[in-house]
Structure 1
Amino acid sequence: MKPWKDEVLQLTKELVHHPSINGTIGERDIAYRIVDYFQELPYFKANPGHLRMVKTSSDERERYNVMALVKGGDATFRETVILMGHMDTVGVEDYGKWKQLAFTPDELMKRWEGSAIPDRVRQDLQRGEWACGRGSLDMKSGLAGHMALTRYFAEHPEELRGNILFLSECDEEDNSRGILSALSEFLRLAQEEELTYIAAINADYTSSRFEGDPHRYVYMGTVGKLLPAFFIAGKETHVGQAFEGFDPNLVAAELTRRLDYNPAFCDEMYGETTLPPISLKQTDLKTKYDVQTPITAFAYYNFFVTSWSPKDVLEKLKEVAWDAVKAANRLCRERQRQYCERTGDPQLFPDWTPRVYTYDEFYHHCLTRYGSPFEESMRLFSMNLLNEKELDLRDYCCRMVEELWSWDEQKTPAVILFYASMYIPRIVLNHREKRDQRLIRAVKRAVEEIQQMCPHPIKVRNFFPYISDMSFVAISDDREGLSSLEKNMPAWGTKHQMNVDAIRALDVPAVNIGPYGMDAHKQWERVEVAYSMETVPNLNYRVIKDLVGK
């Protein structure tokens, strides 16, 4: 194995020293630091056009992606491997009293060693060499490994019969504007430099799958992520006349009871099972206190997918919505009956029939009824809503559905199902397709070779289980499945821009070979040095050499 550890460790610490919390000025400035690193290399001094800092598009903040191209041999080869990773991090509020040390790994480690820390953290530190600090695991150590590999091949282009394209993207921790902006740059660069992209290697973090898990993981492809949401309209009433209305929170509760942690909604492919859905928000939409019951409520749930398309998920959840609203209706009637038995009052439950729509269905219901005035009004509302710069994407979608609901004349309880956030596509490597087979074989050969020198078992799995920007270099859904997403996401084309055609044009099979550690996004974030900074770069080096090496 090549001795990468010292170089990658030093680079990791330097990157951690540069705070790059998503949405802050540090996220912008770290791009300059990475450019400075490459500008010092003779290759990029001789080929300045191969190093680019590209501003993100459709972004209210100033931030950049960094791209560094190394052409192998006599610079006439077309096949190109992308090395990608993000440079932004989450915040540091979770560090508590160590907040000021979150970006100084060595000092933070000293404080940990002399303090009362969790047993698992102490055991890790006692067992081997670890580094800590915000971003050390997610994912500056992976990015540092890619920087070191790019530096190596820039100094040894004769080892390549193809090319390496390094990408450091911003905004992975929020709305992925970095990678979405990079799509057009990938295609432009391919045309200008006559490149053919054959693989992408992401270096996002990996971790144990369960307590005591000894494995280190390599992933071929990735799960996708959807955020289905429910807008629930009830019937308002005074709390002193409770049974004259219908509480939308009761439907929300029934939805959560059916979906939260439910294995029936785990997707499965290639013998691997996704995590079940879980609630990420559940609230009514009252903005102040009074004694009127809520009129509307809003809930959304995280969904991981490997084989299901956005259309598949909508169809499944529409059935759930029907079950939930009917169950809430039955429960309310039954409890009124029990109450009336105790009081002797007559049971006079409001007569209404539950309604369930997708956003697209209800939009076209209103369009048929109200025509162009409705369409123009919704368009103007969506444009005006964009002026609220700090409005969260999820809340933007909810506000759009609220406005849509205002056109309803019946005003009887209903549920509108929609998508409240960007789709993070699944990537499925096809074991029968030659292009994908080539990458799969390269990964398996690299693991087999490096395993002999690694004390931990390295296991290859089919789907990266977390969210990452590798999802945007290819897409496994067909046009019908994606059309369902576009029609049912109120922010599509306005608040949220996603160039599906560019993703399809790029269409690169992707794997994740990244650092190993614990507690990403948490106070005790730490990365295992030996595997992450020695084994991982060697794995990636072997894959690159297999694909485009001499």
Structure 2
Amino acid sequence: MSEIKEKILSILKETVSIDSFSATENENRVSEYLYDYMKSMKYFEDNPNLFGNFKIEDDYLGRRISYGMVRGKSNKTVVLMNHHDVVGIDDYGSIKEYAFDIERLPEKIREININTEALEDLNSGEWIFGRGAADMKGGLAIQLAYLERYSEMEEREGNILFISVPDEESYSTGMRGAVKLLSRLKEEFELEYSFLIDCEPNFKVNGKHVVSLGTAGKCMPVILAQGQKSHICRCFDGLNPIGVLGEIFSRTELSLEFSDELDGEITVPPTWNYFKDMKVEYDVSIPIRACGYFSVISFYTSPDEILEKLKRISNDSFKAYVNKMKMIYSEYKCRNMHCSEREIEFKPEVLSFEELMNIASEKDKEGFGRFYGKLYDEISEKIVKNEINYPQATIRIMDEVMNFTGISYPVIVLGFAPPYYPALNSRKISGKGHIIDECYNLIRDYAHDNFNYDLNYENYTVGLSDCSYCAVDRAFDYDSFSLNTPMWGKLYSIDFEGIEKLNIPSIIFGPWSKDYHQATERVNRESLTVIVPKLIDEIVNYIFKNK
């Protein structure tokens, strides 16, 4: 494997130099680089039908998935998957212009305040710094160099399929689109997808390199609360939706009720990304609506189950806030001689977005169809122009549908905003889970015996990954999820059925790295160029000879 060391370093330097920010056209510059690199390989000169750039359907940036397949004797196929987009570089401050230069950055990074551990790693010379060096152009470089090495071998037992996707850091447009590419290649070449290695960076805990055998799920519930408007000096005549939403916030923020647990691992509790009233102008009245959204990380809880839990919490929160108003108003009346004797009466109502859509359709089916089509097109145009993001667009759609219904009483509406990542633990895939343990045990023992390098595993990475779209370890009501996701359609969708048919067992195994998404992002040189490439080779050989 020593012959690919310099290739890995060369590919890393060249790909890091490309500022392929997520959700931008610059991602295509890496696709072009990868296409040109594979085109120059002797194998693909002889087999031009086995590589290319696959255009993602309906992608407003025209992004492409780069792929190349080297054929072997059997239909067994190992997929080497990575992503080539990177996050922004504002954290580099005054040295931003050097963020993509792995040769000049080490000296320049001394000019900014970095932590002691990063400084020690910098001085050691054992680490490569740069935006994307760890997440995840290091993994890309390993896999592309390995593909080239495999193409030069005389005896090849099975197939290696290299696939590099855009947009992992934003909405995973690349991997969601790759389901179609993988399905097409499977059918065209009668492939048997035996294993997938997502070469995302790994970290160490207690001196052991942690391999992820699964990837946590993530959904983003969106809550729109409608109250009853009133003058602030007559606040007991109205219902403040901020108060209702605040009650929901207090019962969900950092709530362990939403955390899943497995074998000593637990998902982080929810945290809110956004919380705001929807009042545009200023006046002395309480707002009519408020909204917010938060992230729920899961190992096994489905969106349906999360929605049901939120319905209960929303209903209880509504009642709690009204009861609070009643108690305060009761005391207020005793202390105000001019107060009326009327009582506060608000009945809780909680709707899913699907239920709200049904109300709108029942009001005027044809008219609502035209209205919703026009609204979706308008939102699409704003997204293409980067004037709005998916969660904001979700709120806008929920708000406009509420307007169409004419509902004027207090109500809470629940939906989901993209992106959605299904949880996956490949050990739970029926009939295929055994291969995960076998491959992990293989590389754990090999690393210890040959490199004195220790591995450990986690059942799920909570950092999320594109492995969510490789297989399904448990089914749920896909239709219900799509009907409660306002953005579902041309702008956002997941081919759940296609993913089920692929059902590729996967692990997340890449080079030892630190501080990804920070200015001190770095990848360990030996792990990148020696250890991980060799362990990937061990997995490939095992799959082809034993599965």
Q: TM-score range by the shorter chain?
A: over 0.9
Q: CA deviation at 1:303?
A: 0.9
TM-score (normalised: structure 2): 0.93
Equivalenced residue count is 542
1:276-295 superposed matches below 5 A: 276-295=269-288
Residues of 1 paired with 2:410 and 2:176: CA distance?
Answer: 38
1:341-356 superposed matches below 5 A: 341-346=334-339, 348-356=342-350
Matched, 1:392 2:389: yes
Question: Which deviations, in whole Å up to 9, do the C-alpha atoms of 1:302-344 show, x marking residues without a partner?
Answer: 1111111111111111111112222222223333334444444
Q: CA deviation at 1:456?
A: 4.8
Matched, 1:507 2:500: no
2:318 partner SS: helix
Matched with 2:526 is 530
Alignment check: 8 A CA contact 1:3 1:534 kept:
no
Q: CA deviation at 1:494?
A: 3.7
Matched with 1:12 is 12
Matched, 1:254 2:250: no
Matched with 1:492 is 488
Unpaired runs of at least 5, structure 2: none
Question: Which deviations, in whole Å up to 9, do the C-alpha atoms of 1:160-198 show, x marking residues without a partner?
Answer: 311000001111111222122222121112222221111
Distance 1:101 1:352, change over 3 A: same
Alignment check: 8 A CA contact 2:75 2:191 kept:
yes
1:98-137 superposed matches below 5 A: 98-113=95-110, 116-126=113-123, 129-137=126-134
Matched, 1:545 2:538: no
Question: Which deviations, in whole Å up to 9, do the C-alpha atoms of 1:271-306 show, x marking residues without a partner?
Answer: 432111111111111223332321111111111111
Alignment check: 8 A CA contact 2:426 2:436 kept:
no
Distance 1:157 1:310, change over 3 A: farther
Alignment check: 8 A CA contact 2:512 2:528 kept:
yes
Residues of 1 paired with 2:168 and 2:282: CA distance?
Answer: 37
- The aligned amino acid for 2:53 is M
Structure 1, 334-343 or 183-192: larger mean CA deviation: 334-343
Residues of 2 paired with 1:280 and 1:260: CA distance?
Answer: 10
Matched, 1:418 2:415: yes
Distance 1:479 1:24, change over 3 A: closer
- The aligned amino acid for 1:420 is A
Alignment check: 8 A CA contact 1:79 1:198 kept:
yes
2:420 partner SS: coil
1:364 partner SS: helix
Alignment check: 8 A CA contact 1:355 1:413 kept:
yes
1:145-156 superposed matches below 5 A: 145-156=142-153
Distance 1:362 1:148, change over 3 A: same
1:452 partner SS: helix
Matched with 1:175 is 171
1:367-516 superposed matches below 5 A: 367-388=361-382, 389=384, 390=386, 391-430=388-427, 433-480=430-477, 482-516=478-512
- The aligned amino acid for 1:524 is T
- The aligned amino acid for 1:67 is Y
1:131 partner SS: strand
Residues of 2 paired with 1:231 and 1:157: CA distance?
Answer: 61
Structure 2 residue corresponding to 1:275, chosen from 268, 275, 293: 268
Distance 1:393 1:133, change over 3 A: same
Structure 2 residue corresponding to 1:239, chosen from 232, 235, 240: 232
1:435 partner SS: coil
Residues of 2 paired with 1:431 and 1:174: CA distance?
Answer: 27
Residues of 1 paired with 2:143 and 2:102: CA distance?
Answer: 20
Distance 1:22 1:115, change over 3 A: closer
Residues of 2 paired with 1:283 and 1:197: CA distance?
Answer: 46
Superposition CA RMSD, Å: 2.2
- The aligned amino acid for 2:515 is D
Matched with 2:188 is 192
Residues of 1 paired with 2:18 and 2:275: CA distance?
Answer: 36
Residues of 1 paired with 2:209 and 2:104: CA distance?
Answer: 28
- The aligned amino acid for 1:487 is L
